[in-house]
Structure 1
Amino acid sequence: MSLHPETLVPSHFLWDFGDGVATITLNRPERKNPLTFDSYAELRDLFRALKETPEVRVVVLTGAGGNFSSGGDVHEIIGPLTRMDVLGLREFTTMTGDLVQAMRDCPQPIVAAVEGVCAGAGAILAMASDLRLAAPDAKTAFLFTRVGLSGADMGACAILPRIIGHGRAAELLFTGRNMSAEEGERWGFFSRIANDVRAEAQALARSLADGPVQAHYITKQQLDAEWAVSIDTALGMEAEVQAECMTTKDFHRAYEAFADKRKPEFKGD
């Protein structure tokens, strides 16, 4: 799938692109932006395509109508799942995991702007983003156990403990309770709380898009790649990628700008 950001017309969400920042808005506000089989697949395909879309430097992910996402649609996903055979169920759970994998594999930093309800698969989308900002009313719940499912969904048992710690992740995944915005900020799930969280997310994305793009891509790549390696191995990996980053024109421009006491201009090359 090739992506032309200026002309993309998605079927299941809103898309806006300008000056390097793409904004994905989950858009079923009357139902608090639930996901369906088709919207899962379209989001997966979009994040896969972003690997080949250098025009997009940063992605903002949000929801319409004052909520982020209520997760899998009860009638369009949960009901049909109860009637599927094991093969069909595995195809679905593999697809949802592929969406998280695509979010982690796309090089662009993803900024989640979370308002209101952020539950189930919606909480996973926020978790799989690189940076998360919250509105004061944000309520995040990994509520899988409340519908008889395990907390081991879409990478939650791997990723969530790395963000907030094992014990806190275990509590949320066992109980399915809401995590408030204040609690999420205190635990490190959210980096900040903002009254106008969408504007704050756009400002953050804009600052990242104006920065050294290749350096940001390497940072995202290494944050994932170094999860499960020793410090010795990580040091070697970072030596390689940082030396590569030092060959970019952005690095040389930054040196010249600092030497001339002016602000560097990054062009992503």
Structure 2
Amino acid sequence: MNKATSQYAQVDDPLGPDNYKFLELILRGARLDVAINRPDAANSLNDGLIEELLTLFGALLWRDDVRVVTLTGKGRHFCAGLDIKERKGKLDPAPLGSYVGQRKISEIVIAMRRCPQPIIARINGAASGGGFALALAADVRVGSPGLRCNAAPIRIGLSGCDIGISYFLPRICGSGVASEFLLTGRFIDADRALRANLVSAVGDDDALDEIVDGLVEDMLAASPLGLRLTKDGLNLAIDAAGLEQVVALEDRQQVLCTYQPDFENALARFREKKAGQ
């Protein structure tokens, strides 16, 4: 599928690197590595980067050839949030105009959660404000020893509940941890992030590369449909009203997967292995 149609963009090759100025894309088989590429500005979110993230994650909804996505930042930082310097003097004086601008940024995390590919965030350095939201919207997070995350808006007279952070953080770390960091704007360092289950692992660059590669390898070992339905099922289960609704969804997904050749092939390999023991 080379042409994608989404609410964000219509381009012949939405994963073509020439379509992006602020993102670096490397497609290797079914793996897509994405790096935010504004290192001189701590990978902060300007209007162009916001548009490119919307285009990318909107297009991924339709790309069944891409099965896993990794997301990181070039240079020292993951993403330092909104580019305040570039936006100086550009705030819309009307509430509606400001709301539209805010909503455009928020649509990025909605698109990340909606896209069928698991997203692995490799957090290096600062992930503040909108950058923190991008990290939280990923399905799995790993970080460097210099990781520093925070809900920055509370420190500049705004609400700490911003760009989906108040949705993701209590579900990932619990309401107590979320309250502490949203109400204070304090930074979460690598040690606290690991203890709070915000990240699955912490390591230097080489170690993180191995960790990310291992996660990608294990995910790609799953069947395409099984992997896709697992992300979908997890997201639906998080928002479900109760156990019965989740089990009903799981049952339907499992039955659907049994009709795929991947299941029969995996079952045959398992039987051969057992017979050889």
Structure 2 residue runs of 5 or longer lacking an equivalent are: 5-11
Amino acid at match of 2:39: P
Amino acid at match of 1:146: R
Please tell me whether the aligned partners of residues 27 and 33 of structure 2 are also in contact (alpha carbons under 8 angstroms): yes
Question: Are positions 1:154 and 2:163 aligned together?
Answer: yes
1:84 Cα deviation after fit:
3.3
Please tell me whether the aligned partners of residues 144 and 173 of structure 1 are also in contact (alpha carbons under 8 angstroms): no
Query: Which fold has the larger relative contact order, with Cα–Cα distance below 8 Å and residues 6 or more apart in sequence?
Result: 1
CA distance in 2, matches of 1:189, 1:72: 21
Question: Are positions 1:7 and 2:19 aligned together?
Answer: no
Please tell me whether the aligned partners of residues 21 and 206 of structure 1 are also in contact (alpha carbons under 8 angstroms): no
CA distance in 1, matches of 2:17, 2:217: 20
CA distance in 1, matches of 2:210, 2:84: 31
Deviation per CA, 1:218-258: give whole Å up to 9, x if none.
11111111223211111111111111112111111110111
Question: Are positions 1:21 and 2:9 aligned together?
Answer: no
Residue 58 of structure 1: which of 68, 78, 87 is its match? 68
Please tell me whether the aligned partners of residues 5 and 17 of structure 1 are also in contact (alpha carbons under 8 angstroms): no
1:203 Cα deviation after fit:
3.3
CA distance in 2, matches of 1:112, 1:79: 32
Residue 32 of structure 1: which of 28, 42, 50 is its match? 42
- Report the equivalent of 2:188: 179
Residue 260 of structure 2: which of 248, 259, 262 is its match? 248
Question: Are positions 1:88 and 2:97 aligned together?
Answer: yes
CA distance in 1, matches of 2:77, 2:140: 18
Question: Are positions 1:193 and 2:205 aligned together?
Answer: no
- 1:57-206 equivalences under 5 Å are 57-77=67-87, 79-81=89-91, 83-196=92-205, 197-206=208-217
State the identity as a percent.
Answer: 31
Deviation per CA, 1:89-138: give whole Å up to 9, x if none.
11112111211110000000000000111111111100000000011111
Please tell me whether the aligned partners of residues 5 and 55 of structure 1 are also in contact (alpha carbons under 8 angstroms): no
CA distance 1:78–1:172, change in 2 (3 Å):
farther
TM-score by length of 1: 0.92
CA distance in 1, matches of 2:96, 2:118: 34
Question: How many residues matched?
Answer: 261
Please tell me whether the aligned partners of residues 14 and 59 of structure 2 are also in contact (alpha carbons under 8 angstroms): no
- Report the equivalent of 2:229: 218
Cα root mean square deviation, aligned: 1.7
Moved more, 205-214 or 175-184: 205-214
Deviation per CA, 1:55-94: give whole Å up to 9, x if none.
211000000112101011012236523x431111111121
Deviation per CA, 1:2-56: give whole Å up to 9, x if none.
2647634212211111021111101111121111122112111211111111121
- Report the equivalent of 1:266: none
Q: Indicate the SS of the match to 1:16.
A: strand
Deviation per CA, 1:141-200: give whole Å up to 9, x if none.
111101111122111111110000001001111111110111111111101112222442
Q: Indicate the SS of the match to 1:56.
A: coil
Please tell me whether the aligned partners of residues 223 and 262 of structure 2 are also in contact (alpha carbons under 8 angstroms): yes
Structure 1 residue runs of 5 or longer lacking an equivalent are: 263-269
CA distance in 2, matches of 1:79, 1:121: 20
Q: Indicate the SS of the match to 1:15.
A: strand
CA distance in 2, matches of 1:74, 1:202: 34
